[in-house]
Structure formats: C-alpha cells, structure tokens
Structure 1
C-alpha cells in the first residue's frame, strides 16, 4: 500500500501501540476502508498482552481527522440500508477501541471534526494542541447520529454543550475544548507530542489490572441503564485484590521500592 493511499497504520514501540490515521490529502478524513482497518488494528492491539498504552493520532499536525470522507457518501450512504451498514462499520471500530483494556490516548493536532470527534471520544484520554478545532457538522449535512454516539458525547461534555455542538454544527476552539471537558489538557502545538509522551510514560508504569477495572466500571456507568452489567465491574475489582501485582506492590512499598506490574 502506498503511503499516499488512505490507511490506518500501527507501530508497536515497546509497550506502546501507536495508531495513525493517514489520509493527509483530505486532512485525514476517514474512508470506509480506514474504518475497517481501524477495527482490525484495535482488535489486534487489545489482544496483545505485552502492550500497556495505545495512542491514536492523525498523520502530520494539520488534523487528527476532519471527519468521514464525504466523497464516498454518494455510493456508500445513498439508501437507508447503505447508511445503516456504514454506521455499523463505524460503530464496530469505536467498540473495538473501547474494548481495549488498557489506556487509549487521543493526540489531537488541528482539526478533530465529525467522525474524528467520535474516534477521540472512544479514547479514554484526549490531549489537544492550542490550534485545535473540534465540532460535529452533521446538521449541515442532514445526518443523524445514533444514541450511542450522542450519549458518549453528552457524558463527556454535558448535555447542554452536546446540544450546542450538535445543533449549531459549529467548530469550536481549544479553549472551549478544554473548558467543556472534550480534552483533558491543551499544550502548545510544538510541545504536544512531548507532552503526550510524558503522559503515556506515566500510564505505562501503572497496574494494568487496576486500569482495566477502572475502564470496566466507567464503561458500565456510561452504558444505557438496561445494558449495564455491574458483575463485570465487581469481578474486575476483585481480580486486582487477588492479583500477584497487588502483593508485589505491598512488598515494594514496605521496602520503599517502586513496584513493577506485569498484569497478573
């Protein structure tokens, strides 16, 4: 595959999975093929027990992702059935990202629009640069988002801000992104990559089972009431208490040492 062709790229760097959305000619707009690749890559990352953190970014510094590739809509979303199949492909990718048990970080340079916001919201943590612009222009295209997407957006930014984002279809700046909670923190554009490296170094040191338990509980909190499974959250917390990592951490702290976690 040529680097000019739209694609999603995975590079494993020690315990870090680096996922890049690459379609720079269209500001990293996501094609249907890229959604399918992202699903496969997220599943592969989730299955790799050596990994501790995943980072998703866009190719270059102009955009994280400027949305879905609208040039495909005439063929792939012409009918209701086609639109439903397209939405299902997107949801599979988002679910695959959400199914990763360890922290997933979105590194957001520049534009993060439409489908780009959906990918960023599927991550656990989002860090942006001071030039970022985010929004969901669905109301300018006659597109309706599914309840799953809107629930995730509202859970992160609040219902009033979600209504503003969805109904105005405007692009908002970095200050708004940080104020409403869409991003955890903003860094200068030329410092974002280094800042994210600092954050993932911290995340990679911590106990994988504890992080997995936190993600399991947060996932159930975010789920619709009739879809919650609190048993999974309780079992994940109990697994931490019974783990070798927990015993090793107690011994390390007693000896004023830093524990090393293996996820067992």
Structure 2
C-alpha cells in the first residue's frame, strides 16, 4: 500500500479480484471530497470490466474502515444548504457506483466504521468485521439530516427498530451488536480477519460469474423502492445462466466427477 499522506483511494487488481483501500490514516480514513470522487471513478471503471469477479473495500491500517466524511472540509463544503446538497450528491454518486458494480462487493472492516463509512459498508453486499469494530451514524450529534436513500438501505440490513436506535442515539455499536442485528455477516478476531476475508474472496471468485451476477441483480431489485423495481433484469440474468456455456460445462464436469471451471460465458 502507498505510504503517501495525501488522502486517496488505492486500487489493486489481480486475478479478477479488485481491492480498494481508503487511505487517510491520520484521520482514521475519513473520506474527503477527493476520495468520494475517486471512488466514483474507480467503481465506474470496475463496473464495465468483464474479467472482474469480486471487489473488496477496506481502510488502510488496523484502526478504521472509515471514520466518516472528513469533518475538516465541512466549513468549506457544507456551510450552506446548497453546498450541503452538492456534497451529498457527490457522496450519493460514489455510493451508487459501489452498488452498481455487478459482482459481489465485500467490506473488510477493522476498527471504526462510522457515518459515511457505514454508508459505504451498507452499499457492499457482504460485511466482515473484526471483534474490535465499532459502527454507527452520529448525524444527530452533528445536526445533519441523513439521506432517506441511505436510511432505506440501513433499514433493509438491520431492521427498522435497530435503524431507529442507530440514528436517534448517534451512539457507536459493538461488533457483537453488528452481528446480532445483521450488519455483520461474520465477526472474526482482528488478527484473523484479513486471512478470513481473502478466503471468502477466493470462494466467490471461483464460482460461476453469471450465477453470482444473477443473484446480485435479484437481491438489488428486491431491495429497490417499489416504483424503481425492474423485474426484467433479474429474470434476464437467470435466463443468461441457463443459456451459458458455463452451465453446460458444469453439467459435463459434474457428470465426470470433476470440478467445473467458469469463464463467465
């Protein structure tokens, strides 16, 4: 990973696995405006790659996934309602970019996952936390109105009652609470988390890409607002699986007691 102190988003891509790292260690990986814009560009580029199998997002170092939006910029970027709306739109574009990636997106969460960090984690499909992790949304302690689009995703993941607790208290919740409410798929000892997630990435990358993509698009449409739901996309994705050479190859492999190899075709 880069040692530069300039806040940025780092991308590593190999063997169909993209690893994005939020780099602002002096401020517990708080997300700057530049980093939101970099996330938007990187996710836009990843979304059209045919060789991509899975994406992982993490924060640099062991202390934080992301401690929120960089508050040091608020005086400059969020002083007026117009500035706040513009800044929120930039964040929403990055969140939309994460959600639009057609392959699974995994959040590897060490330490603090707060505010905008929680929004990024909620945009991911899977969230794996270390046992020291803390998550929460302190918008009520900053006088910030949280976007209804982000609140819906929060409710979808943790339920209405827990979402209300998170938003109305502004308190940070434990890794144990994250697991119990459904925010975390798994909580792992901090020393073991990186290895655990790498194994999960390998498992996902080895599966049939069209099948995984069909599952993701179905989950996305089920979670969409009723007025925005598009049932044609998931059914088309299921049909693409049935017509794929991957499916035919898998049938042959299983008949011969072999392990299938998938190419996303």
State the TM-score, normalizing by the size of structure 2.
Answer: 0.98
> How many angstroms does 1:13 deviate by?
2.2
Question: What is the match of residue 262 of structure 2?
Answer: 261
Looking at structure 2, the residues matched to 249 and 2 of structure 1 have their Cα atoms a distance apart, in angstroms, of 44
Match of 2:164 in 1: 163
| Structure 2: tracts of 5 or more residues without a match | none
The C-alpha deviation readout for 1:98-152, integer Å capped at 9, x for no partner, is 1111111000000000000000011110000000000000000011111110000
Write the distance in 1 (CA, Å) between the matches of 2:107 and 2:161. 24
Residues in 2 aligned to 1:248 and 1:176: alpha-carbon distance in whole angstroms: 43
Structure 2 match to 1:86: 87
Q: Does 1:125 align with 2:126?
A: yes
Cα distance in 1 for residues equivalent to 2:134 and 2:95: 21
- Quote the Cα distance in structure 2 between the aligned partners of 1:73 and 1:187: 34
Alignment partners' CA distance in 2, 1:259 and 1:99 = 28
Residue 26 of structure 1 is matched in structure 2 by 27
Map 1:87-236 to 2 at 5 A: 87-236=88-237
Give CA deviations for 1:188-208 in whole Å, capped at 9, x if unaligned: 000000000111110001011
Alpha-carbon RMSD across the aligned residues, in angstroms, is 1.0
For residues 231 and 25 of structure 2, the distance between their equivalents in structure 1, rounded to whole angstroms, comes to 42
Q: How many residues are paired up? A: 264
- Superposed displacement of residue 79, structure 1: 1.3
Note the C-alpha offset of 1:3: 1.2
Distance in 2 (alpha carbons) for counterparts of 1:146 and 1:219: 19
C-alpha separation in 2, matches of 1:123 and 1:129: 16
Look up the SS of the partner of 1:73 in the other structure: helix
Q: Distance in 1 between matches of 2:101 and 2:209?
A: 11
Distance in 2 separating the partners of 1:10 and 1:185: 24
TM score, norm. by length of structure 1: 0.98
* Distance (Å, rounded) in 2 between the aligned partners of 1:146 and 1:137: 13
> Please, which moves more after superposition, 38-47 or 158-167?
38-47
Q: Give secondary structure in 2 for the equivalent of 1:106.
A: strand
Unaligned stretches of 5+ residues in structure 1:
none
* Structure 2 counterpart SS, 1:101: coil
Give the secondary-structure state (helix, strand or coil) at the position aligned to 2:261.
coil
Deviations 1:168-190 (A, max 9, x none): 00001110011101010000000
| CA displacement, residues 8-56 of structure 1 (integer Å, 9 cap, x when unaligned) | 0001122210100000000000001000001111111222211211110
TM-superposed CA distance for 1:81, in Å, is: 1.3
Quick check: 42-51 or 83-92, which moved more? 42-51
Q: Distance in 1 between matches of 2:3 and 2:178?
A: 34
SS at match of 1:47: coil
